[in-house]
Amino acid sequence: MASAARGLDRGPRVLLPFCALLALLGPARGVHIKKAEAAEPGEALRYLHAAELGEALRELAASAPPGLARLFSIGESVEGRPLWVLRLTAGLEAPRAGEEPGGSPLPGRPQVKLVGNMHGDEPLARPLLLQLARELVRGWAGGDVRIGRLLNTTDLYLLPSLNPDGFEHAQEGDCGGGVASGRENSRGRDLNRSFPDQFEASEPDLGPVPEVRALIAWMRRNKFLLSGNLHGGSVVASYPYDDSPTHKPTGVYSKSADDEVFKYLAKAYASHHPIMRTGKPNCPGEEGETFPEGITNGAQWYDVEGGMQDYNYVWADCFEITLELSCCKYPLTSELEQEWENNRESLLSFIEKVHIGVKGFVRDAVTKAGLENTTIVVAGIAHNITAGKYGDYHRLLVPGTYNVTAVAMGYTPLTRENIEVKEGDATEVDFFLQPAVMAPAPNITQLTATPAPASTVASTVVQAEAPSPTSLHQPVQPVDFRHHHFSDMEIFLRRCANEYPNITRLYSAGKSVELRELYVMEISDNPGVHEAGEPEFKYIGNMHGNEVVGRELLLNLIEYLCKNFGTDPEVTDLVRSTRIHIMPSMNPDGYEKSQEGDRGGTVGRNNSNNYDLNRNFPDQFFQVADPPQPETLAVMSWLKTYPFVLSANLHGGSLVVNYPYDDDEQGMAIYSKSPDDAVFQQLALSYSKENKKMYQGSPCKDMYPNEYFPHGITNGAQWYNVPGGMQDWNYLNTNCFEVTIELGCVKYPDAEELPKYWEQNRRSLLQFMKQVHRGVWGFVLDATDGRGILNATISVAEINHPVTTYKDGDYWRLLVQGTYKITASARGYNPVTKTVAVDSEGAVQVNFTLKRTDAKVEEGKVPVPNTPDTSDPNEKEFETLIKDLSAENGVERLLLSSSGKVSPYRYRPYKDLSEFLRGLYLNYPHITNLSSLGQSVEFRQIWSLEISNKPNQSEPEEPKIRFVAGIHGNAPVGTELLLTLAEFLCMNYKKNAAVTKLIDRTRIVIVPSLNPDGREIAQERGCTSNIGRTNAHGRDLDTDFTSNYSRYSGTREPETKAIIDNLILKRDFSLSVALDGGSLLVTYPYDKPVQTVENKETLKHLASVYANNHPSMHLGQPGCPNKSDENIPGGVIRGSEWHSHLGSMKDFSVTFGHCPEITVYTSCCYFPSAGQLPGLWAEHRRSLLSMLVEVHKGVHGFVQDKSGKAISKAVIVLNEGLRICTKEGGYFHVLLAPGLHNINAIADGYQQKHMQVLVRHDAPSSVFIVFDMENKIFGLPRELVVTVAGASMSALVLTACIIWCVCSIKSNRHKDGFHRLRQHHDDYEDEIRMMSTGSKKSLLSHEFQDETDTEEETLYSSKH
């Protein structure tokens, strides 16, 4: 690959001088080299063309010691050349018919692949990998210790040429490549630009690149752990990611979650390469290019979109690096020996690194069976892997200490902490997972099928018919008849598995095109275990998406069996004697496209790739041209996994039971008889006889008036020809007899018709299941040790259809009444034949004991399985529950004890989200209430789901919490987390004591998608894309919560208005948690700049609670691409200090809703791939649940007066700042950080109350406030009355004083004046005369303005 090798934008390399000389001498030498004879082992290295390479590989595989090598092809190139792979590992078994090309994986042995010659003009890997294979084979044969250890512990696959066509067009000595150099495949496509890319939403067209298709399919069939992609054009080890979201041509370090592991692997190769380790390749034309330590991040070197190494890591859990081996793309033959010496040690050392990290097995704690596809989560690394077929896992990790969690559907997750990984071999850690709710130990006789003694011919008859229900007992019938969309069906199935854990197990057989699970409900008295001698039965519905009756009937049947087990004799006997598997929908994608009321249409019939699944199976008469679909492959794999005996495929469009064969050699509508035609007719009649209308044989007179089926059954091909059908494939490729049942003339009837279909088919469904107990059954045992013989053949004379035994030697052979010669045979044993009479009722047990060829016979016994006891979790009072959950690992213990396993695995668009919420509401009506807060711009509902023991009822004494997600449509992780949280809570109500008490005492409101319009246009794997971020008006909703809500409410976006009016301004929430994306941290108010934060410590504390319960968020290093150095102490930061903006939801909530709100950023990528959702749920679920615990802390209070009257709307002032009001009934609740807090209580007409309260970190604090006196007089506040009364009394006293003073002053003034007149009679005679004539005033005014007069004037002026 390399600068010119990977990106032709840099232009062709300058040819080395000797290459130019070679060109001058002519092309003869290069042609001669490519047409040389096939190399023999030990011969000098040289290039071999396709035929020679294939022959050399065949000779090597043939000459290798037995069980060491296997050669196979994974596909063909455009020009039809095989893509050869040589597998090397010790202990390979001989190829078996029908198995995976190359053989099955070996338990616990990690798979490594080396892929070469991806670019046809970079062929150095071809001779190097061939030489590596030769050396490994020779070393093994010669007893080399290192190679022996390697091949004993490693499953190695060598693919020397992925692009053999390009190689045939390339020229030896071409060091720089160029136009028509052979780089691309024969259709001109660069294979290393053709893979799906994590940063691009659109899927690549794989049509022109069969080489890529073949490689992807091969990877999907295996679980490769380590891979090297060998290129040429430089000398460096390149590691993911190869591109970035910006696709900047160069210079962007695009960091993966396992960056340290990749660097470790790259150094392992580079450090042993004499040129690579220098970091200075000195390639002609790029002499200045350096790579520290010989390694580089791919995107930092230059951007490669659609590269193979990133696909390996993102989609296949395989750690691949790209190895540039030489400056010259196509080195001369003479240089090959030196290139081998340069790379030999690097190749071996790199392969050995597959053994680093942590490894082990994940097993069922009860049965010890390996748990395939268990998710392995490493705390702090946002990349999960899954366990292999045998429950084996291997997680590459660099030396360090790790917490590792194993998560499997239907099991309680288990975390192993402080696992130390050292240099060298992996640390071995096994996980034994407990089923979510373990079944009590059943009667051991029900678990053990004891074969009859080998010396006798067993003729025990097992009755298939259970006792008929008596008139005293009426079985419980389903009552909820409706059409279940996928989310609704998913919830229904999980609920049944949760409510009936002793007899059910929910699992998935695979995924649809659109990644919906193909759910299967197992119903058995010992779920999850094949009981020796017990037959296995299956029903499949909805193969055609628009034929829905079977889907609903199977859901009804599940409910019927669960509810009646243990009370109804018929159901109880059936479940105890049969392992039942029910797949309600094989085509869930088609169902979502179909329409209710469709009578005979085709909309939704096919899968999402528009292929008819019932024409997609391999056919005995015709070659099926359509590519196999995911649903088909999943079902085929499922049928190979379980020993099914009998099956029915439920369809719609007529009313008849159709049996094999479905087609014939001529492709004509004629009777096509199978060897078991009599058995199939009996099976078909067992169903039709119980359905009166079907048995009459003229089902759809208004639609098909001429159609007639005697007794309601028909041979498939006689009705019409169906090549590629599922029922024929069942019969020809497994031990399973399958019929196809058409359930009604209308394909998608109205919901009100569903009860009628159940009543018509209920008895038929049960009777058909009982047919699994017809014919003969028994064990084929080894006479030496008494053990069962796997894959022994059971043949019936004159019926050309043998069946084989399962792992315990048990078999089942359906037969009609009669006498048969039955033979049991097995490789290495002498066959045994017995004559057996089969009755019309029940099944005859016939055991066979086979002697090994030339071996002595010894009797043996079949081992008896054991089942451990279980115990129920202890109940705890709510007062201590909060404290327990607040303790270290308290929430983790809750998770471990929870029932059922829920985990998001795909994103739900608006329609699916709505159906999911509706499904929760319909399945859990007593604890949920679904309502719409309003509509978006494009008229999508903004759903709100309340979870409470009394939904939609006011309970002011209970704290209320809301979770909101999807304010930015391009960040939907929060939406999926909240939907999963909702289902988790519902599933565990009345199942888990802690969850039940939390729901009983909390009002939980979940708003999963505030911006549904934006979500609909957002694109998966758009890690940095802003498509869908805003609403349909282009408005960022988190800037629309304006502070003055009354002034601007008329111009507010409808989504914002809905949540403000119907949630925030209700002011009855104690806490709000908003989920967003784009980093890994929590912010608290305020988002607006330069804002003094009241109650800051509390807000920061709430954010810290979330971060501290997350495995890596609290470390404060989000590690997001292009922000790798960002450090957020504790993972918590004030909003304005991170991304400051106005109009945020959290600011509005605090200011006007009186509710603290934190914003959680769930992952660096806005819209990560769906495959990351289970890991994200595993990381966030503890934090989400911790908020349900935290909302019960702080201060709970009650305010009343002395008479006991509750006081609502009293104001509670906290720490002289934060204000809240009491609710109806006088209740209040406020969250506060741990510590001492001041509380002032104020109510109109009452005395203010002051107190202090100590808030603890692990328990709520209670405050009881009593206003001890009525504070009103004559209906007026006491303070006002006292003030007025005091003022009035003061005024009266003052008035009296003034009157007395005035009177006193006047009396004294008169006395003093006349005394002076007598003393100065002569002087004042004229004035006295004036007084007598009315001039007294003037005299007094001027002559007697003394101090007394001044004081009096002052008194009155003051008074007025």
Write out the catalytic residue numbers.
324, 742
Structure tokens, 1210: 């009293």
Structure tokens, 768: 């058909």
Cβ–Cβ < 8 Å for 687, 766: no
The CA–CA distances, whole Å, from 650 to 310, 471, 542, 658, 718 equal 42, 31, 7, 10, 19
Pairing mode of beta strands 775-782, 810-813: antiparallel
Amino acid at residue number 888: E
Question: How would you list the strands of the sheet with 818-825, edge to edge?
Answer: 799-804, 793-796, 818-825, 832-838
φ and ψ of 97, to 5 deg = -60, 135
CA distance 1138 to 1125: 14
Smallest CA-to-CA distance from 982 within 920, 1043, 926, 1071 is with 920
DSSP 852: B
Pairing mode of beta strands 155-159, 82-88: antiparallel
What stretch of H or E contains 692?
helix 692-696
Strand-pairing partners, residue 406, are 376, 414
φ and ψ of 1120, to 5 deg = -75, 150
How far is residue 167 CA from its own chain's centroid? 42
DSSP 42: T
Cβ–Cβ < 8 Å for 777, 814: no
CB neighbour class for 613 (10 Å; exposed up to 12, middle 13-18, buried from 19): buried
Smallest CA-to-CA distance from 1271 within 1243, 1250, 1294 is with 1243
CA distance 790 to 1325: 157
Strand-pairing partners, residue 1230, are 1195
Question: How would you list the strands of the sheet with 69-76, edge to edge?
Answer: 69-76, 82-88, 155-159, 111-116, 224-231, 319-326, 234-239, 295-297
How many C-beta atoms lie closer than 10 Å to residue 99's C-beta? 11
CA distance 91 to 762: 51
φ and ψ of 306, to 5 deg = 80, 25
Cβ–Cβ < 8 Å for 1161, 1168: no
What stretch of H or E contains 943?
strand 941-947
Residues in the chain: 1360
Smallest CA-to-CA distance from 1145 within 967, 931, 1005, 1003 is with 967
CA distance 944 to 935: 12
N-term to C-term CA, the chain = 103
Strand-pairing partners, residue 835, are 821
Structure tokens, 1105: 């609670």
Cβ–Cβ < 8 Å for 941, 1062: no
Task: Provide the sign of the torsion angle of the four alpha carbons 1045, 1050, 1056, 1058, taken in this order.
Answer: positive
Smallest CA-to-CA distance from 1054 within 1148, 1153, 934, 943 is with 934
CA distance 791 to 802: 11
Cβ–Cβ < 8 Å for 954, 960: no
Cβ–Cβ < 8 Å for 971, 896: no
Report DSSP letters for 993-1011, one per residue: HHHHHHHHT-EEEEE--S-
